[in-house]
Amino acid sequence: MTHTAPLGVAVIGTGTMGADHVRRLDRVVSGARVAAVADPDTDRARATAAGLDGCTVHADPLAAMAAPGVEAVLIASPAPAHEAALLPALERGLPILCEKPLTPDPAAALRVLAAEQKLGARRVQVGFMRRWDSEYVQLAALLADGALGRPLMLHCRHRNVAVHPYFTDETLINDSVAHEFDAARWLLGQEITAVQVFRPAPSRHAPEGLRDPQFVVFETDAGALVDVEIFAGSGFGYQVQAEAVCERGTARIGEAHGLLVNTAGRWGGPVAQDYLARFADAYDREVQDWVDATRRGEVTGPSAWDGYAVAAACAAGTEAQRTGRRVAVDMIERPRFYGGA
């Protein structure tokens, strides 16, 4: 059913990502309004909702979902809390945009898949926003066109200025490399079958207890190899880059060739300092597309299956970290509901 009035959205979680989505829904995206917010830190939630007409504030996500005018849910709470918001939202049949990861482990993701399939129609879109980045979109189109031949390898770099103190080796996989798992699946149209993690001597600037940087290699079911340099504390900027090596050429994105200045014997330009700056346009397009599709009565974009596939790859990745071995990705057969045979 097509909506004519603005879509009422409940935003679950008002931390950095949730607050940015509240701002986006209020000031950037058309056809939507923030009808409710929820966060255990109600002071933070009230500050985020300040000035939003008709927006109610809650500590409990379920109360926000039941608030007047709520027709859809955007989940931006920490990953361990996703399932507790996803399952009640599915019970209510609400359209959902859930920030990645869908869940922190494949078992929880399978419970989400089962709940969605009971509805008989998709309700979940997972927030793998790189699929809306203009450079990633161009690379995906180029690879799909086949002009460069079959993709053989994909080289990726994922660098942060610094990370939160709570980051662990496992977080590097589950929170950071998760993006490359999804991007590789999407760009190549292939599933990940095995993961191996190599750890050089850590940087002297790495936080205590964090082996940073790391080098992750994964294989696909069509024989491609993907490598990811994850450097959580590079100190200089936020960089996400990828180079596809194909049979008849290569293609590279993420070089940030914007404004370059020549002065005082030097040349250069700015480097983004965080993901909100680097992928601002992608987030805007992602949420706008979700709102537009929801108002049409549709669900598009990365599915709960995509979220499960990444969770399974992350589980293999964290085991590879612990053991130093190549670890096969353990996945169920893709259900017909999600395009399987």
Residues 58, 9: Cα–Cα separation, whole Å: 14
Q: What integer pLDDT is reported at residue 3 of this predicted model?
A: 63
Q: What integer pLDDT is reported at residue 307 of this predicted model?
A: 98
Residues 30, 87: Cα–Cα separation, whole Å: 27
Q: What's 175's DSSP letter?
A: I
Q: Which residues contact 66 (CB under 8 A, 6 or more apart)?
A: none
Q: Taking residues 321-332, report their average pLDDT.
A: 97
The fold adopted by the segment(s) 7-130+281-309 is Rossmann fold (3.40.50)
pLDDT at residue 262 greater than cutoff 90: no
Please name the residue that has the structure tokens 């979220």: 307
Antiparallel, parallel or unpaired: β 7-12 and 214-220:
unpaired
Residue 2: band (very low, low, confident or very high) from pLDDT cuts 50, 70, 90: low
pLDDT at residue 306 greater than cutoff 80: yes
Structure tokens at 193: 């079958």
Task: Name the percent of the chain lying above pLDDT 90.
Answer: 88
Residues 182, 169: Cα–Cα separation, whole Å: 19
Residues 151, 233: Cα–Cα separation, whole Å: 30
Please name the residue that has the structure tokens 């996945």: 331
- Cα dist. 299→151, 252, 267, 292 in Å? 29, 31, 46, 9
Q: Taking residues 123-137, report their average pLDDT.
A: 97
Q: Which residues contact 204 (CB under 8 A, 6 or more apart)?
A: none
Q: Which of 17-26, 43-52, 165-174, 181-190 has the lowest mean pLDDT?
A: 165-174
Q: What is the pTM of this model?
A: 0.95
Tens-digit pLDDT profile for residues 117-126: 999 999 999 9
Structure tokens at 253: 């994105």
The fold adopted by the segment(s) 131-278+315-338 is Dihydrodipicolinate Reductase; domain 2 (3.30.360)
Q: Which of 143-152, 238-247, 248-257, 298-307 has the lowest mean pLDDT?
A: 248-257
Task: Name the percent of the chain lying above pLDDT 70.
Answer: 99
pLDDT, greater one: 256 or 280: 280
**Domain chopping of the chain, boundaries:** 7-130+281-309, 131-278+315-338
